[in-house]
Amino acid sequence: MTVSVIVPAYNAQDTIGQTLKALASQDYQENFEIIVVDDGSSDQTVAAVRLFAQIRYAYQSNAGPAAARNHGARLAQGDILAFTDSDCVPHKDWLSQLLQGFVTGDIAVVMGSYGIANSQNLLADCVYKEIVFRHKRLLPDFPNVFGSYNFCVKKNIFEQVGGFNVSYRYASGEDNDLSYKIIKAGGRVYFQREAFVDHYHPTRIRKYLKEQFRHGLWRVRMYMDHPFMVKGDGYTFWKDMVEVPWSVCCLLSIVLSLFGLVAFKAIACFLIVSFLLFEIFFARFMLRGAREEFFWGFIMFLRSFSRTLGLSTGILLFLKQKILNKP
């Protein structure tokens, strides 16, 4: 089988060198091509890429990671497309491990997992440990969702479903969308748990919460496109579903308490305190009693509101569009 590795990049001068060095050091014995698609970077990403020989470089005006990955797929000569990101550092056996996952003919996608490249940062370490927890919950071998940071797919299947949906302008749901399209078309996803890329996880709380708002916003579009996934996929579970109405109740009780209604002040206090304790409990459960549990519980508490506000904004924008387009 022939393989093309595709790396979308946007202002990635600080990390893409490590990505390409790791790809150049793979233990995979066959030849494979590496394609970097520069999504309109304004920094020195191109200079960092040019330091590596045998790298195919393509430039596009900024259109988002989904469009960049599709661009790379169109250029690819391989019949297997492998994807990772410009802030990921693949392990030496990453590619060979992924390709071993095509254990039966009906496997369309092989996904891998995350490691961590910046474990010294508290937020990054907590994000990573939650991902590990969620990945342990995935079906043993055949999940119904995969991430764009670490997977390979048969090119004919990728083209059959239309690749990534470029209307997902930011990194928020385009990989879920592709997962659901492939599974709906009859393809199976195999989870190769030994195929790792170390990732630079978020290090700034404000930026992380902003990203979570965006995830909530774009989930509305994703659920409109794939209503059968509203109940969740292998990565999400009941806790994610509970957080949305709980957050809404907290916000409503706070608003009502501002009108001087004493009962709602008490309700707001109860809901907020119990919600925070709930998140701390789950942080302890996810991190297995690690010292970060109180910190991560508080971050998940804030994240719940950020996601809910994003989801609410997405619903309002959807309703606005429906009204404006109404004949």
CATH number at residue 29: 3.90.550.10
185 in a structural domain = yes
CB 311 within 8 A of CB 224: no
pLDDT tens string 69-116: 999 999 999 999 999 999 999 999 999 999 999 988 889 999 999 999
SS3 185: coil
Judgement on whether residues 49 and 95 belong to the same structural domain of the protein: yes
Judgement on whether residues 30 and 89 belong to the same structural domain of the protein: yes
Q: What is the C-alpha separation between 116 and 326, in angstroms, rounded?
A: 48
Residue 100: name the closest of 218, 1, 199 by CA: 1
pLDDT tens string 230-260: 777 778 888 999 999 999 999 999 988 888 7
The rounded Cα 207 to chain-centroid distance in angstroms is: 15
Adjacent-strand bridge partners of 86: none
Task: Work out the pLDDT band at 327, boundaries 50, 70, 90.
Answer: low
Exposure on the CB side of residue 243, measured as CA atoms within 13 A: 23
CB atoms < 10 A from the CB of 195, how many? 25
225 in a structural domain = no
Q: What is the C-alpha separation between 295 and 303, in angstroms, rounded?
A: 12
214 in a structural domain = no
Residue 298: name the closest of 266, 267, 273, 268 by CA: 273
Can you count the helices (H) and strands (E) in the chain?
A: 11, 8
DSSP string of 42-97?
SSSHHHHHHTSTTEEEEEE-S--HHHHHHHHHHH--SSEEEEE-TTEEE-TTHHHH
Residue 7: name the closest of 141, 145, 197 by CA: 197
The strands making up 188-199's β-sheet, listed across from edge to edge, are: 55-60, 32-39, 3-9, 80-84, 150-154, 107-116, 188-199, 88-90
pLDDT tens string 173-206: 899 999 999 999 999 999 999 999 999 999 999 9
Residue with tokens 């150049």: 24
Q: What is the number of structural domains in the chain?
A: 2
- Look up the domain containing 293 and give its range: 238-324
Judgement on whether residues 250 and 302 belong to the same structural domain of the protein: yes
Judgement on whether residues 185 and 250 belong to the same structural domain of the protein: no
Q: Which amino acid is at 121?
A: N
Q: What is the C-alpha separation between 105 and 119, in angstroms, rounded?
A: 38
Judgement on whether residues 20 and 109 belong to the same structural domain of the protein: yes
Q: Which amino acid is at 85?
A: D
Residue 48: name the closest of 25, 3, 16, 84 by CA: 16
Judgement on whether residues 60 and 189 belong to the same structural domain of the protein: yes
Computed over every residue of the chain, the mean pLDDT equals 92
CB 300 within 8 A of CB 279: yes
Least confident of 43-52, 75-84, 285-294: 285-294
